[in-house]
Structures are given as C-alpha cells and as structure tokens.
Structure 1
Amino acid sequence: MKIDSLDLGERPVILAPMEDVTDPSFRYMCKRFGADMMFTEFISSDGLIRDAKKSLDKLNISDAERPIGIQIYGHLIDAMVEAARMAEEANPNVIDINFGCPVRKVAARGAGSGMMREPDKLVEMTRQIVNAVKLPVTVKTRLGYDDESRIIVELAERLQDVGVKALTIHGRTRAQMYKGEADWSLIGQVKNNQRMHIPIIGNGDIDGPVKAKEMFDRYGVDGIMIGRATYGRPWIFKEVKHYLASGEVLEQPSVIERVDIAKEHFRKSIEIKGDRVGVFEIRRHFSSYFKGLPDFKETRFKLVTANDPIEIFQLLDFVAERWGNFEEIKSMIYRSPLSGKE
C-alpha cells in the first residue's frame, strides 16, 4: 500500500489517532510492537493558530516514530489551511484531516464528523488544504452524519478528485458514536468502486488478529486502522502481523510480561514529559494493562493516584508478585475495553 510515494508494504496495520491516548510514549510502545504507521492525537486548528501550548506540543514527533501523520481538525477553512501549513513545518510524512470525531463538543461546532452535515464545505476545505501544502493529505471520516445521510461512497470520490492520497473510513455514522457494530459493507463499496484508486483503510471494531484478517479478506481494504483495542494492548500490532503471516494466534502476555511492558511505557512517559506530567499521562493506561485481574480495585486506585515514580514502580512490582503466579490469569485471553475515542 502506498500513500503517494510512502510505501507501507502489504496489508499495513495502523494506529488510529486518539485524543489523550496516542501521546508520544504510547506511540513509542505501539511502534515497538510493529505498528506500520501512526498518527498524533488530533490537534485543534484554532489552538495551533492561537499558539496554544497544548496544541503546539502535539506537533512534537521524532524520526523513530516514522512513518507518522499529524492530524488536525476544525470548522473554519482559513484556520484549517493555516494549521495544515504549521503541521507541515513539523515535517510529518502526511497531513491528516479529521472528519470523523463524533464527540459532541467537536461535532456540535461543525468540526470532526460534524462536517459531514456540510459535504460541500468539507470537500472545499480539503481542496484548499491539499493546495496549500506539499505533503500528502489524507482524510479520516465516517459513513455519514446519520442513517439518513450515509454519503461515504459519493464523498470518497469527491475527496479523491480534490487530491486526497488515502482515505480512512470508520464504519459508523456520527449519530452512532461508538454504539452498535461497525458497518464495513459501505467501506467495501468504497474500496470496490472502480473509480477509486487511492488506498482505502478500514477502521472500526477490530479487536484482534482474526477480525483483522477477516476485514482484509472480506472487504479487500488496503490497510486497517486500530483504535480502542490498543488500550493496554500495544502488542496487538505484533499479534495481527504474526497472524496475517502465519495463521497462528499468539499467546497473550502473562501478568509479569504486562508489568514489564507497563514499566517500559512509564519510563518513556517520564523521559519525554518529566515526572509530573509523565505520571499524570500514564494513569489512563494502567487500568487497561491490568484489566480483568481479580481483587485489583485497591491496587488500581493506588496506581492511578500515586505521584511518586518510585512508588509507582514499587506498585508495579507488587502487581507482578501478587498476581504473576496465577497460571489461569497468565493464560486468559486479554480483551481491551471497547470504550473511549478513536
């Protein structure tokens, strides 16, 4: 699969952009386990042009993360064009436009998937961004705003016509949020439309290697993007790629192995962000790493409230000691939560 001249190989497995999740330390872990491409958290165009620190900080990427895309969102065309130029200065591999976020505070302003209520404006915004930057521009979107406006088949053609180099489609409408099952049939229609020649990346409800292969085989997509199933499970990229190559389902990491992974993630978090912010940003991941452990509530509370890195490492050692000897837990199938943003 190629995005313009960027070659991602056959059947790439891509990390979805997720607010408050795909920060640099989590991207580091996903890359270590084989993510073929990654995206930043989405970045507000308004925040960028106002020089808001939180938005500017999200532009920080490293060569070790490549290939990587910077994703922007907003509802004003001029602001989005300027934000795209600013994102290009950070030198990612692609600029990605978010037309998929269903969260009320984003969509209600006409940004994210709220833009799907105004497809003409959506296409014009995309056209102007494509013309304003030299990097490839990609788009992530949904099937439509609601069940009465599933416009993705026509919209995909229009986006291709204005110069988009790849399209990621989440198989739900904005109205669905994350409820119900993702409908991949329309993703398949886009992919199998003879007029389409850009890569089509499918997204939605991929929770493991078997589902990933099924989506490739059934709908013929060029790549898949995984979001919520990566929570506490960055090794899912290794699982999927191994299964695609061999047909073998890998055994899930033991509790002790998960502790080692969580420690590595935590070290990277404080290395990049410092002790205070690094501690704060790792908390959202700890619950997911150890989801399903019995009688874990008290230890979980300590993990997500402790402020001293030394204390946190000691708590992780306690997790390994307390739960690491349970063979039935070591062999259980670990399931990531299907909640959150993607």
Structure 2
Amino acid sequence: MQITTIGIDLAKDVFQIHGVDGQGKIVLRKQLRRGQMASFFVNLPACLIGMEACGSAHYWARKLQEQGHVVRLMAPQFVKPYVKTNKHDAADAEAICEAVRRPNMRFVPIKNVEQQAILSVHRVRQGLIKARTAQANQIRGLLSEFGLVLPKGIRVVYQRVPALLDQTGDELPGLFRELVLRLLAHLKDLDRQVSELEQQINAWHRSNALSQKLEKIPGIGPMTASALVASVGDAKSFSNGRQLAAWLGLVPKQHATGGKTNLLGISKRGDTYLRTLLIHGGRAVIRSAEQKPPHANSWLARILARRHKNVVTVALANRNARIVWALLAHDREFHADYAPA
C-alpha cells in the first residue's frame, strides 16, 4: 500500500518514523539513524510529513521539501493530546502522524536559511544583553559589600567605578581592585559585542525591503522589523491580523462557561522576544505622545483618555501586529492617515 502520511519524531541521532496509508492503516514503523534519513526519503513517493517544531525541525523540513514531500511543522503542545500510551519515541511519532492529518491543525511556518541566520543573531544579542546586565549587577553587588553603593544603570558603572576605585585609595585590598577592574573589562567587552551584533542586524535591515516597510510603523524600529520579518515568514499563513496577534500572545485569554464569556489578561503565548519588542515599541510611542500630545481625535488620544497607559501599551502592540500582517500579506505600504473603506 502507498504511504500517504508520515510522522517523524526528531532527535540528534535516532529518528522514529510512523507511516499510514490513505485509510489511516499503519504501513510503516521504522527507526532510522541520522545518516539514513536522506537516502530513505529520497526513494519514497511524495507524501505528507509531519514533525514537531523543535530543534533542527526547520533544517529537516527544508531538506524533505527539496525531495518533493509536503512538510508541516506543529507546536509540541498541539501534538501531545494525540499520544495514546506511555511516553516513548514510537508513540510520539504515531501522535505526530495523527495530528498532522487533522483538518483544523495549526502549523508553524517553515523558515529559510536567511531567516534562521538573522534570528540567530537576535538570539545571541539577547543572551549577551542578559549577560551584560548580570555582569553590571555583580559589580554593583561586590562594591556594596565594601560600602560603595552605585545608582542603577550600566552607564553609571562605566563612568563611576574607575573613579570610585581611585578615591578609595588603599582602603580596598589590591586583590579586590584587580578583580573589579577585570569584571569591568569583561562588561565593556560584552557591550562591544552587543554593538557589533546590532550593526549586523541594521545592515540586514537596510538590505531587506520588507523590513524597511515595517519600520515606517510608529513603535517599530530596525530590531523589531527584522525580527518580525524573519519570524513570521509568509504572512499569508495567517488568515487575518488577529491570528498573528494571537500567535504573539497579545490578545486576551478567554474563559467561557454557561454562555458567559470573561476576557482575562493577554495570553502571553508564542514568541516572548517578539512580544517584548512590540510592547517596548508601544511604550516609546506613548512616551512621545506624552511629550507631544497627539491629535484629539486620533485613536491613541481617545484610548489614552479612558485607559491606563500600560493597557494602552499592549493595545498599541496588538494594533501594530495587525498592521504588520496587513502590510506583509497584502503587499501594502504604511500610511498614517489610512482609513478602511
């Protein structure tokens, strides 16, 4: 019988394969080593292949698509309900095969090499920023043990620590002074690496037309625009702007029972990094509006007049996400005075 659907449980070395025919009957259960994957699927007739969106999933999705197969990636939490027995590779592959055949299943867009590369730069930059903040806090904490208290802010550490060490003279042991200077040099090195990665992101942004298009939206800069273009991929995979906003976790969580619906706080699902960038961009727009009040009849002025600015920040991030979908899905340009027909 011909195999129509295959579920693959991805791993580092040992992959579990589960295949069914058009009637859903099991026709294939096989375990493959990493080196056997390409040769096995290149000799297989084109079929639907499902995988969880985990490590190396986008790589294998591209490889299998090149061989003529239709590949679908799914979030692991959508696959878990289809696991019938105990947790093992064969049961996971069977659950993936079952889930990918569901007509209402939600799939993850497959990223190309360029998108993965720029997202890697974003992730490394994010990690370096966390390390830089931790290093500054460690320096501040060590100095406080000797009665030297610094205000908040990384720039304050750069500016005041050398002078502070000079002022103390011989009050601090030489070993401790050398340690603080070593940590300060490490902090400066982390800051230099963050700046270099930001320059790479800005260069990619200037070379990408879609990213430059999104930059015109108030509250979206080169960092947010490049991350959105690389993460969203094909915006037409979302039916509308609300689906994209829900994918980013910017829509209210719903709790409905007995015909009564309660809207709670935002769901906070999806990519935390993208959601954070959009919300920080919304804060920047609101801060600018406080310094230079917007037009009284504008959407932002009306909502600021009746809601707390933290609520308005999330609402603005939600609105920007929907605008991003409209620009990418319909190939439009942003116009601040745009009004729907």
* TM-score range relative to shorter protein: under 0.3
Q: TM-score by structure 1 length?
A: 0.27
Hey, which of these two has a bigger chunk of helix by percent?
2
TM-score by length of 2: 0.27
Q: Which has the larger radius of gyration?
A: 2
Structure with bigger RCO (C-alpha 8 Å, 6+ apart): 1
